[in-house]
Chains A and B, each alone.
Chain A
Amino acid sequence: MERDLTRIALFAALIAVLGLMPRLTLASGIPLTAQSMGIMLAGTILGARNGALAVLLFLGLVALGLPLLAGGRGGLGVFAGPTLGYLIGFPLGAFVTGLIASRFEHRMAFVPSLTGAFVGGIIVVTVCGIVGMAVMMGVSLAQATTFALPFLPGDVIKAVLTAGITAALWKARPALA
Chain B
Amino acid sequence: MIGALSARHTRYHDWHAGWKLVGLCVFCTVIGFAQWVVAGWTGLILVLGAARLEGGWFLRMILGDLKSAALIAALIAAFQLALGSPMKGLEIAGGLLACIAAAMMMTRTTSPAELLDTVDGWLETLGMNERPRRKLALAVALTLRFVPALSERAQRLTEAHRARSPKRAGWRILPPLAIGALDEADRAAEALRARADLN
Interface residue ranges, A against B (CB under 8 Å): 1-3, 5-10, 12-14, 16-17, 20-21, 24, 34, 41, 45, 57-58, 60-61, 64-68, 71, 73-82, 136-139, 143, 161, 165, 168-169, 172-173, 176
Contact = CB atoms under 8 A, between A and B. Distances in A.
Interface in B121-145: 135, 138-140, 142-144
Interface in B1-23: 2-5
Contacts, number: 172
B2 A6 contact: no
Contacts of A139: 79-80, 83
B171 A34 contact: yes
A14 B192 contact: no
B103 interface: yes
B30 interface: no
B3 A81 contact: no
Contacts of A24: 170
12 contacts: A1-B199, A5-B138, A5-B139, A5-B189, A6-B188, A6-B189, A10-B146, A10-B182, A14-B181, A77-B101, A77-B104, A80-B28
B147 A80 contact: no
Interface stretch (B53-61, B159-167, B172-180): B172-180
Contact of B112 (A66, A71, A81, A169): A66
Contacts of A68: 2, 147
A41 B178 contact: yes
Contacts of A60: 140
Nearest to A12: B143
Nearest to B188: A6
Contacts of B188: 6
Indicate the member of B96, B142, B181, B190 with the most A CB atoms within 10 Å: B142
Given A2-B193, A6-B185, A8-B139, A76 B174 contact: no
Contact of A64 (B91, B112, B178): B112
A75 B5 CA distance: 10
Given A45-B178, A173-B182, A75 B104 contact: yes
Given A10-B184, A66-B112, A74 B107 contact: yes
Contacts of A77: 65, 69, 99-104, 107
